[in-house]
C-alpha cells in the first residue's frame, strides 16, 4: 500500500492531471471554433497617448477602482495570496525538488525551507478564511453545497498535512502518507471538478471574446 501510494500512484496521478487538462483544453478549443466576436482592426483603434509615469500610476489606480478591489478588498488580497502561494509553495519546495532530482535527475529552483513553511501557512490561513466565509456569510452560504466544502478540503489538506509533516507533529509516517495521498487526489480531481477553474480561468479570460477579456480574445462558443 505505502509503496503504491509513494511510487506508481504519483505517476498515475501526474499522468491523469496532464492528460485531463489536455483533454479539457482540446474540448474547449473544439467548442469555441466559431469566431464571431467582432474585434475592430488595430488600424481603427485609438492609440493611447504617451503617458508619464505619474499618469500611468493614476490610470492604473483608477482602473483598480473598477475591479473587485473596490467592492471586496480583503477577499481580493486573500484570494490572490492563496492562489499564488498554492502554486509557488509546492513547486519550489526543497523536499519536492530533492525527490524529483533523485528520481528523474531534474529539479526546479528551491526556496529556503522557512519561506516555503511561511507560504504553506499563508495557504492554510486563507483556506480558513474561505471556510469561515462559506459558513458565516449569508450570501455564500445560500449557494454552498457539501461539494463546495469537499473541494476546499481537497485543496487545503495537502498543505495541512505538509505543514504537519515538516513540523514533525503527530505520527510522521501517517502524516506523510496522507500528504502524498491528498496531493495525488488533488492532481486527479483538478481537471474534472470545480478545481478546473485553474485552467478555465485563463481560457475564459484570454481566449473568449468578451467585455472582460484580458486581451483581444475572439473565440466564441
Partner 1 sequence: MMHQEMKPVDTKQIKEMLNRKKGKMKRYLSYCAHCSLCAESCFLYMAHDQDPQYMPSYKVIHSLGKLYRKRGKVDRKSLMEMKGIVWRNCVLCGRCYCPIGIHIPSMITFARSILRSQDVYPQLDEASSESWL
Smallest separation, CB 204 to partner 1 (Å): 3
Report the C-alpha gap between 13 and 188 in whole angstroms: 5
Q: Which stretch binds partner 1 (CB under 8 A): 42-50, 56-64, 118-126, 139-147?
A: 139-147
Query: Does position 142 bind partner 1 by CB under 8 A?
Result: yes
**Torsions phi, psi of 208, nearest 5?**
-80, 130
Q: Which of 162, 217 has the CB closer to partner 1?
A: 217
With a CB cutoff of 8 Å and minimum separation 6, the contacts of 94 are: 110, 111, 112, 113, 116
Question: At which residue does the C-alpha cell 505505502 appear?
Answer: 2
* End-to-end Cα separation, the chain, in angstroms: 45
Cα–Cα distance for residue pair 74/181, rounded to 1 Å: 32
Nearest C-alpha neighbor of 130 from the set 56, 77, 197, 87 = 77
User: Judged by CB under 8 A, which of 140, 153, 177, 185 binds partner 1?
Assistant: 140
* Interface with partner 1 (CB under 8 A), residue from 12, 124, 131, 196: 196
Binding mask 147-186 toward partner 1 (x if CB under 8 A, else -) reads -x--------------------------------------
Residue of the chain from 2, 27, 55, 61 that contacts partner 1 (CB under 8 A)? 27
Binding site for partner 1 (CB under 8 A): 27-28, 31, 68, 71-72, 75, 79, 137-145, 148, 193-194, 196-197, 200-201, 203-205, 208, 210, 212, 221
Amino acid at each position: 500500500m505505502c509503496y503504491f501510494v509513494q511510487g506508481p500512484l504519483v505517476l498515475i496521478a501526474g499522468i491523469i492531471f496532464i492528460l485531463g487538462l489536455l483533454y479539457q483544453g482540446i474540448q474547449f478549443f473544439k467548442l469555441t471554433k466559431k469566431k464571431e466576436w467582432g474585434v475592430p482592426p488595430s488600424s481603427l483603434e485609438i492609440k493611447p497617448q504617451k503617458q508619464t509615469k505619474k499618469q500611468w500610476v493614476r490610470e492604473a489606480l483608477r482602473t483598480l477602482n473598477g475591479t473587485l478591489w473596490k467592492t471586496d478588498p480583503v477577499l481580493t488580497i486573500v484570494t490572490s495570496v492563496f492562489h499564488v502561494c498554492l502554486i509557488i509553495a509546492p513547486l519550489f519546495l526543497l523536499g519536492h525538488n530533492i525527490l524529483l532530482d533523485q528520481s528523474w535527475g531534474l529539479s526546479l529552483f528551491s526556496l529556503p525551507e522557512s519561506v516555503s513553511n511561511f507560504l504553506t501557512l499563508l495557504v492554510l490561513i486563507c483556506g480558513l478564511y474561505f471556510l469561515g466565509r462559506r459558513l458565516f456569510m449569508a450570501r455564500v452560504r445560500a449557494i454552498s453545497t457539501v461539494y463546495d466544502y469537499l473541494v476546499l478540503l481537497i485543496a487545503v489538506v495537502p498543505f495541512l498535512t505538509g505543514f504537519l509533516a515538516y513540523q514533525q507533529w503527530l505520527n510522521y509516517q501517517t502524516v506523510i502518507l496522507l500528504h502524498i495521498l491528498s496531493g495525488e487526489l488533488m492532481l486527479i480531481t483538478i481537471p474534472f471538478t470545480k478545481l478546473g477553474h485553474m485552467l478555465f480561468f485563463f481560457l475564459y479570460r484570454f481566449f473568449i471574446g468578451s467585455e472582460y477579456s484580458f486581451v483581444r480574445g475572439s473565440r466564441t462558443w
